[in-house]
Amino acid sequence: MGEVSSMIIFALKTLLQNMTKKGLSRWIFGVVMGLITLFLIWPGYLLFSAAEPLILGFPLSFAWVIFCTLLGFVALLGLYLSDRGETKDL
């Protein structure tokens, strides 16, 4: 177990070292948006498709879509801020 986790950590470290800041932020953004897409349609949305429980008064299926929209906004904002930092450095 310990060996596997140290290998994963090593792989991640190498990946991070070899990536520019811009490349990394785009990569993270891509993963987050990919997950959002997958969880807004089949099969990811299946997990959150029920009417109950009500969350802050909204059915789970509705609350989930609102949550994903907000998460998408945060992801875009993060990408924009990191892009802006990059241009300023130049």
Residues of the shown chain interacting with other proteins in the complex, contacts defined by CB under 8 A: 33, 36-37, 40-42, 45-46, 48-52, 54, 56-59, 61-62, 65-66, 68-70, 72-73, 76-77, 79-80, 83-84, 87
* DSSP-based three-state secondary structure for 59: strand
* DSSP-based three-state secondary structure for 58: strand
Least Cα distance to 64 among 77, 43, 78, 46 occurs for 46
| Rounded Cα–Cα distance for residues 81 and 90 (Å) | 15
Close Cβ partners of 59 (under 8 Å, ≥ 6 residues apart): 50, 51, 52
Q: Which is nearer to other proteins, 41 or 90 (CB)?
A: 41
Q: How far is the CB of 38 from other proteins (least distance, A)?
A: 10
Q: How far is the CB of 69 from other proteins (least distance, A)?
A: 5
Q: How far is the CB of 33 from other proteins (least distance, A)?
A: 6
Q: Which is nearer to other proteins, 6 or 49 (CB)?
A: 49
| Rounded Cα–Cα distance for residues 65 and 45 (Å) | 9
Q: How far is the CB of 9 from other proteins (least distance, A)?
A: 31
